[in-house]
Structure 1
Amino acid sequence: MRVLVSADLEGISGVVHPDQIYPGSEYYKETLQKWSQELTAVISGLREAGAEYIVINDAHNHMRNLNNAMVPNATIVSGWQRPFSMMATIDEGYDACLFLGYHAMAGSRSTLSHTYRPRIIRQVFLNKVPVGEVGLNAALAGFYNVPVALISGDEEVCFEAEALLGKQLITVQTKRGLSRYSALSYPFEVTLKNLKAGVTKALKEKDKLKVYKITSPCTISVVFSEPNHADACELIPNVKRISDNQVEFTNQLYPVVFKCFLAMGTLAASRDDVVT
């Protein structure tokens, strides 16, 4: 059995502020240690469930946070820029994927909520349905017929995932957000136990897993923080301007839509001007 783990950082236990998740901060090393422990628990559960090939996709920020010592007995994908970003290497060869340490979509009243580009992207819609990183990434997995087996993160992202992917999805809540920069984190030992048990259960009952499919053609609509972000995206062929700060793109193939979304984010970031 082959499993892809897309591992983000904002949703792990105890993380409530950007100071904890970026290199150079005095708290960064401590956060990585917790991340390593959560990943180790997940890998242990996957092995127990019979997974033979495990890929850990470092899906946070510059994507150079993990090393082999932090995640023993697994293959690591690291570095940016790369195809499919947080879902790099996804294809039909995987039996399942997991989303570890995820956060809720931009605009949610949730700890560190955002969608790919915190300062730039305000909202994203797939076929008029509001989505965050959970929906965007699950749709890509679904295109390749790979089900999402488990999601971990704060309470809000777990609710978001269940609403989109179904109540059968196993979720592990690491904390409950009290505000954008505050949360009630559950006992870490309990979280580690729940991660291992949840992964094992999900994989042993993989016949119950559902693949998330979106209809084709697919239209992605992105609302940016400022008009200059949308200005940059109009350089992409077939991207349409909908309003001052909103663009959309349609294609029959979701991977093409997903890559266009990534390109939009990159171009918009290049025009993230300081307004004086």
Structure 2
Amino acid sequence: MRIMISADMEGATGVTWPDDVEPGTAAWERMRRFLTGDVNACVSGLFAGGATEVLVNEAHCTQRNVLIEELDDRATLLTGRHKPLGMMHGVQDADGVVMLGYHTGAGEEGVLAHTYLGMGLVGFRIDGEDADEGRMNALVAAEHGVPVLLVTGDDLTCAAAARWAPGARTAAVKQAVSRYAAVCLPPARSAALIEAEARAAAAAAGAAGRPAAAPAEHHYEVTFHATHQAAAVEAVPTVERTGPRTIAYTAPTATDGARTFKVCTTVAASSAEEHYG
């Protein structure tokens, strides 16, 4: 049984502040070890539950955050940017996926809540429902016939996962107090929690088998904080501007939808000015 871990960072143990996840800062260097600890706890649990292969796909920012020298040597690491399926690359060959260190979406309560852009994107909907990175990635996984087995992050992320991955287990490593504050479990306790949930998730996945793939058309709407971002993104093929700050597009598959979303957010980010956004 092959499992892919999509490892983000905002939802990792101890992380509460932008510097904690900003590459190059002293806080990020420290939090890399906590992220790696969460990953190792998950890897250990997955193998104990019956996994035979585990691929860790780095999914945060520059996608070079996990300390490979401290990684459980039974796993392999997909590190670095520009992967065809981005945060979900590897799911096409997996029997199950773990979304580790995930967070809530833009405009929502939760530690470091955002969707792709740290700021600038204020609303995101898929098929008329409020969405975040987890929902978008879960649709990609479903399209490849791969179940979401486990979601880790703060308590609000775990609650949100019940809506877009109702069959997944969850591990809340912290309770959100605000966007920049949380009541956090110490690393040893969060590791024990993640390992236990990963073991149970893998064992259940082995018994349940793999669901059928379900590709389908999806409609995406993105609202930015300023009009010039929507104007810039309107140049992306298939995208139309539906309001002063909102764009929309329809994609034939969830994979195409996620790829177009990445293009839109990249263009929006490049149009932003340092002080005025």
Q: Per the shorter chain, which TM-score range?
A: over 0.9
Q: How does 1:204-243 map to 2 (within 5 A)?
A: 204-206=203-205, 207-208=207-208, 216-243=216-243
**2: CA distance between counterparts of 1:25 and 1:211?**
42
Q: Please give the secondary structure, in 2, of the residue aligned with 1:269.
A: helix
Q: Deviations over 1:202-243 (max 9, x none)?
A: 111114589698883211111111111111211111211100
CA 1:269/1:94 → structure 2, altered by over 3 Å: closer, same or farther? same
Q: TM-score, normalised by structure 1?
A: 0.93
Q: CA deviation at 1:151?
A: 0.3
Q: Could you tell me which residue of structure 2 aligns to residue 122 of structure 1?
A: 122
CA 1:26/1:54 → structure 2, altered by over 3 Å: closer, same or farther? same
Q: Please give the secondary structure, in 2, of the residue aligned with 1:118.
A: coil
Q: CA deviation at 1:158?
A: 0.3
RMSD: 1.9
Q: Which moved more, 1:24-33 or 1:147-156?
A: 24-33
CA 1:264/1:211 → structure 2, altered by over 3 Å: closer, same or farther? farther
Q: CA deviation at 1:67?
A: 4.1
CA 1:38/1:83 → structure 2, altered by over 3 Å: closer, same or farther? same
Contact 1:175–1:186 under 8 Å retained in 2:
yes
Q: TM-score, normalised by structure 2?
A: 0.93
Contact 1:175–1:183 under 8 Å retained in 2:
yes
Contact 1:147–1:209 under 8 Å retained in 2:
no
Q: How does 1:1-276 map to 2 (within 5 A)?
A: 1-73=1-73, 74-91=75-92, 93-166=93-166, 168-206=167-205, 207-208=207-208, 216-273=216-273, 274-275=275-276
Contact 1:7–1:99 under 8 Å retained in 2:
yes
Percent identical among aligned pairs is: 28
1:82 is aligned with what amino acid? K
Q: CA deviation at 1:188?
A: 2.6
Q: Deviations over 1:62-103 (max 9, x none)?
A: 111224213232111111222222112321x21100011111
**2: CA distance between counterparts of 1:106 and 1:213?**
29
Contact 1:147–1:212 under 8 Å retained in 2:
no
**2: CA distance between counterparts of 1:222 and 1:264?**
9
**2: CA distance between counterparts of 1:227 and 1:128?**
21
Q: Please give the secondary structure, in 2, of the residue aligned with 1:152.
A: strand
**2: CA distance between counterparts of 1:260 and 1:95?**
25
| Structure 1, gaps ≥5 residues long | none
CA 1:209/1:8 → structure 2, altered by over 3 Å: closer, same or farther? farther
**2: CA distance between counterparts of 1:210 and 1:240?**
37
Contact 2:9–2:60 under 8 Å retained in 1:
yes
Q: Please give the secondary structure, in 1, of the residue aligned with 2:230.
A: helix
**2: CA distance between counterparts of 1:103 and 1:177?**
10
**2: CA distance between counterparts of 1:215 and 1:80?**
26
Q: Which moved more, 1:176-185 or 1:59-68?
A: 59-68
